[in-house]
Amino acid sequence: MLEAAIITTASPQKEQNRFAKKAASDFEEMGFRKVDWVDIELESPDVLLQKDVIYINGGNPFHLLEQVKKSGADRVLARLAQKNAVIVGVSAGAVLLGPDIRVVHHFTPQLNAQNIDDFSALELTDKRIFPHYDREDLFGDGTGKTVEERIREFETIESCSVTRLNDDGYLVVET
C-alpha cells in the first residue's frame, strides 16, 4: 500500500488549505494507505524518504524556497528524484521544481518578505513553470500589460523560456 506526504509549508493555512485538503482526499480515494502532512519549517524532511509520493502544495514560493533550503529538504527531494520517486508540485510547488523562481520575482516581488536574493530552486527539471497563466486577475501590475506580454518580456530579459500552465493544466516530467 502506498504512502504520500503533502508538504504544507508554503501556505499560511498549512493542512487547512483547501487545495491540500483536496489532495489528501484524492490520495485516500486512490487507495493510499497513509497520507501525512509535513511542514518542513517545523519537521525534519527525512520523513519524506519513507513516502511513495511527495505532493508540494502551493502558497508563497519565496517562503517555500527559503524553508526547503534551510531544512535540507532540497537535498532530500534530490535524493528522492534520483530514486524516481513521484514528486508533484502545485502552484508554488511546481515553480520550486525548476531551476529557479525568478519568474515569480518578476511578477510578484512583493511576496518576497524574506528578501531572498538567491532564486535558485531544486532543478529537478529544466522547465520554468508559470502557474495560473489563465488568471489575469492575479497578476495585475498597473501597466495594462497582459500576463503573456509580461512573460515574453521576462523571457527576453532572462534569455530563457517559460512553460505556461493554466489552473487546470499539468506537465509530466520523467527523468
Which residue in 118, 119, 90 sits closest to 104, CA to CA? Answer: 119
Of 30, 42, 39, 21, which Cα lies nearest the Cα of 3?
30
pLDDT digits (tens, 9 = 90+) for 36-73: 999 999 999 999 999 999 999 999 999 999 999 999 99
Tell how strand 53-56 and strand 86-89 pair up. Answer: parallel
Structure confidence by residue, pLDDT tens digits, 135-174: 999 988 788 899 999 999 999 999 999 999 999 999 998 8
Q: Do the Cβ atoms of 5 and 54 come closer than 8 Å?
A: yes
Give 139-148 pLDDT, tens digit per residue: 887 888 999 9
Say if residues 131 and 165 touch (Cβ distance below 8 Å).
yes
The CA–CA distances, whole Å, from 172 to 86, 90, 97, 127, 151 equal: 10, 12, 12, 11, 21
**175 in helix, strand or coil?**
coil
Check residue 174 and give its pLDDT.
83
The predicted structure's pLDDT at residue 143:
86
| Each residue's pLDDT tens digit, 77-131 | 999 999 989 999 999 999 999 999 999 999 999 999 989 999 999 999 999 999 9
Q: What is the pTM of this model?
A: 0.95
Per-residue model confidence (pLDDT) at position 142: 81
pLDDT tens per residue across span 22-46: 999 999 999 999 999 999 999 999 9
Residue 17: its pLDDT value, please? 94
Provide the pLDDT for residue 93.
97
